[in-house]
């Protein structure tokens, strides 16, 4: 039996005038997963998120969030936390007052607000006005607001914008912790290395179309690993290319190294063949394709 | 809707808004009351558009509430600005999307907001009434205007009637501001258009075109505040102004319900 789904969309499209912001999107996100939502600017990520949250209505298609249709957001939004397109709060209110407004609106307990501020490291700045916050602090307040309903599904649009490396790591750890207790996290980000580190599922968009949807590991496994061989003597670069091609692998010279496409176990054979041909290798490194490489290859960006 | 009301009151209670609003109400009421009493003997008049309200009129039971009803137009402009700003700022701050994620029923958001702003308007009008009556006694003493009739049951019922009428007018102006806020989605545009329309366009056209004020909501609301006049009855002013406002509110409510929230 397949695992229950936190999100599923079928043939979902949104058209603004003549422009198709999202075209016939289909994807599923299993409950309890951390799903990265990636794509270049203008690829339709925020449009999709807005439709999932009932802020805009689809032109065609359907979708379900926590098992409920996106045409009835009142049925699932009490269990969804969201930060869309960055934090947005009232500048003249303090961080705590801004959270109080949203807690009262959603009918949530306001007693947990200090705990949430502590969780996002704003415990001692909760009584400062929002307009005095740095970008990173605003971002953290946005995450605290998203956590107000103790959500089953957390939808975050670029949550690490404006955060320093330590802040990014804290958010990464927080999302992991939330996933560990069963919260589904749907996170869009342009920091692909971050997404690669935390997400077990991935939805990739390009020009309003879903070009991949599935497990991150499956996507990365599809990519051929690369062996980077750097000879001590630059004159040996061509010889190395011939050795690799002779063994049935494609190879090309990039900078002062030879990049050979092939399984990691070819490294040992290449090392041996180079030694026998009198080539001294300065380094020999098997490199797994990163999500960023894969992303650029797939999106053609 | 109760949750929306509670949330909105948290925003309206912030000192920067409530104190500045109450300061504006105090200024407006003080100004109108002082002009009414201190210029009572001035040949230039002491009320709206050079109208002269004499000592004998101020000494009547209705005299105690005259300055309060005269201040209604300006109180209405204050309400218009607040209702417009509180509605339109959700678009400019981008906070509307947060509100709709926490309360997906757009009608609950809209009418919860309206309810909270009505409560705010009640506080404004109550402050204005207390100030107007207190200052009327103070200035009547200074100008030797008799106040014996002000403590009669007729005077008390005049104050109550004026309070209700000013409140209806103030809320009416506020609804006009809310309509503009939803329509223009920018506090500056909504407030400037609202103020220019009420203070300049309606005023100018009414001065030059006979009887056109019978069809202007702002002019009609100021007539509601004073309980009607010899040309336009209270009932006509009340029903026509609120017909315009409720019609406008229904249209923008429909737009608000259907429109994508894309900012």
> In this complex, do A55 and B105 lie within 8 Å of one another by their Cβ atoms?
no
Strand partners, A129: A94
pLDDT at B112: 94
pLDDT in tens, B50-59: 677 888 888 8
| Torsion angles phi and psi, residue B152, rounded to 5 | -85, 165
pLDDT at A287: 78
How far A283 CA lies from chain B's nearest CA (Å)? Answer: 52
Count of alpha carbons within 13 angstroms of residue B158, beta-carbon side: 20
pLDDT at B210: 84
pLDDT at A257: 87
pLDDT at B49: 66
As a residue count, chain A comes to 301
**Can you give the pLDDT of all 301 residues of chain A as single tens digits?**
456 899 999 999 999 888 999 999 999 999 989 999 988 888 899 999 999 999 999 999 999 999 999 999 999 999 999 998 888 999 999 999 999 999 999 999 889 999 999 988 888 999 999 999 988 889 889 999 999 999 999 999 988 877 888 888 888 888 888 888 889 999 998 777 788 888 889 998 988 999 889 888 887 777 777 888 888 888 888 888 888 888 888 888 888 888 888 766 788 888 888 888 888 888 888 777 777 777 777 766 6
SS3 at position B18: helix
Closest C-alpha among A252, A212, A194, A258 to residue A232: A258
Q: Which of A54, A84, A92 sits opposite B104 (nearest CB)?
A: A54
The single-letter DSSP state of residue B92 is H
Closest C-alpha among A265, A270, A225 to residue A246: A270
Is B97 an 8 Å CB contact of chain A?
A: yes
pLDDT at A1: 45
Those residues with Cβ within 8 angstroms of residue A271's Cβ, 6 or more apart along the chain or in another chain: A281, A284
pLDDT in tens, B193-210: 999 998 889 988 988 888
Task: Compute mean pLDDT per 10 residues along chain B, 263 residues long, and list them.
Answer: 90 90 94 88 73 83 89 92 94 92 92 94 95 93 88 92 95 96 94 92 88 90 90 94 95 92 77
- Is the pTM higher than 0.90? The answer reads no
Q: Tell me the two tokens of residue B162.
A: 């004026």
Those residues with Cβ within 8 angstroms of residue B10's Cβ, 6 or more apart along the chain or in another chain: A93, A97, A100, A101, A104
CB–CB of B85/B190 below 8 Å? yes
Q: Tell me the two tokens of residue A290.
A: 């990163």
Determine whether A22 is exposed, middle or buried from the number of CB atoms within 10 Å of its CB (0-12, 13-18, 19+).
Answer: buried
How far A89 CA lies from chain B's nearest CA (Å)? Answer: 6
Chosen for mutation from B15, B90, B98, B259 (greatest number of chain A CBs closer than 10 Å) is B98
CB–CB of A106/B103 below 8 Å? yes
Chosen for mutation from A88, A98, A148, A157 (greatest number of chain B CBs closer than 10 Å) is A88
Determine whether A209 is exposed, middle or buried from the number of CB atoms within 10 Å of its CB (0-12, 13-18, 19+).
Answer: middle
């Amino acid at each position: 039996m397949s695992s229950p789904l936190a999100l599923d969309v079928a043939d979902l499209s949104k058209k603004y005038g003549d422009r198709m912001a999202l075209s016939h999107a289909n994807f599923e996100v299993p409950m309890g997963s951390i799903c990265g939502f990636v794509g270049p600017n203008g690829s339709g990520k925020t449009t999709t998120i807005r439709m999932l949250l009932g802020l805009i209505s689809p032109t065609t298609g359907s979708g379900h969030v926590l098992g409920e249709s996106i045409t009835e957001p009142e049925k699932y939004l009490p269990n969804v936390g969201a930060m869309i397109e960055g934090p947005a709060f009232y500048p003249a209110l303090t961080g705590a007052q801004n959270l109080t407004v949203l807690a009262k609106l959603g009918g949530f307990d306001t007693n947990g607000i200090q705990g949430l501020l502590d969780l996002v490291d704003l415990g001692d700045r909760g009584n400062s006005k929002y307009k005095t916050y740095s970008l990173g602090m605003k971002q953290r307040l946005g995450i605290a607001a998203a956590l107000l309903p103790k959500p089953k599904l957390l939808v975050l649009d670029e949550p690490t914008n404006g955060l320093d490396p330590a802040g990014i790591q804290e958010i990464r750890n927080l999302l992991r912790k939330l996933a560990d207790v069963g919260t589904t996290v749907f996170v869009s980000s342009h920091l692909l290395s971050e997404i690669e580190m935390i997400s077990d599922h991935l939805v990739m968009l390009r020009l309003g179309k879903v070009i991949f949807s599935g497990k991150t590991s499956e996507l990365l496994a599809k990519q051929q690993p690369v062996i980077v061989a750097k000879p001590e003597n630059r004159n040996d670069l061509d010889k190395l290319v011939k050795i690799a091609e002779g063994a049935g692998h494609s190879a090309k010279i990039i900078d002062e190294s030879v990049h050979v496409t092939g399984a990691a176990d070819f490294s040992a054979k290449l090392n041996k063949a180079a030694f026998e041909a009198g080539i001294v290798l300065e380094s020999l490194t098997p490199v797994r394709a990163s999500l960023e490489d894969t992303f650029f290859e797939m999106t053609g960006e | 809707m109760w949750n929306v009301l509670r949330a909105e009151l948290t925003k309206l209670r912030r000192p920067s808004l409530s104190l500045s609003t109450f300061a504006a109400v105090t200024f407006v009421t003080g100004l109108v009351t002082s002009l009414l009493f201190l210029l009572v003997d001035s040949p230039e008049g002491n009320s709206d558009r050079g109208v002269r309200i004499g000592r004998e009129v101020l000494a009547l039971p209705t005299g105690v509430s005259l300055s309060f009803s005269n201040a209604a137009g300006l109180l209405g402009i204050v309400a218009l600005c607040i209702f417009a700003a509180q509605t339109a700022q959700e678009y400019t701050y981008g906070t509307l999307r947060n509100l709709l994620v926490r309360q997906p029923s757009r009608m609950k958001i809209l009418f919860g907001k309206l309810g909270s702003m009505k409560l705010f308007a009640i506080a404004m009008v109550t402050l204005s009434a207390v100030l107007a009556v207190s200052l009327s006694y103070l200035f009547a003493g200074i100008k030797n205007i008799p106040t014996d009739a002000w403590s009669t049951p007729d005077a008390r019922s005049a104050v109550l009637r004026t309070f209700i009428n000013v409140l209806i007018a103030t809320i009416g102006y506020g609804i006009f501001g809310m309509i503009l806020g939803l329509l223009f989605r920018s506090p500056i545009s909504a407030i400037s258009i609202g103020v220019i329309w009420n203070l300049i366009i309606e005023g100018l056209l009414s001065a030059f075109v006979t009887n056109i004020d019978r069809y202007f909501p702002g002019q009609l609301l100021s007539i509601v505040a004073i309980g009607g006049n010899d040309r336009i009855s209270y009932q006509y002013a009340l029903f026509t102004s609120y017909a315009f406002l409720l019609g406008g509110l229904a249209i923008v409510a429909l737009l608000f319900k259907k429109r994508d929230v894309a900012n």
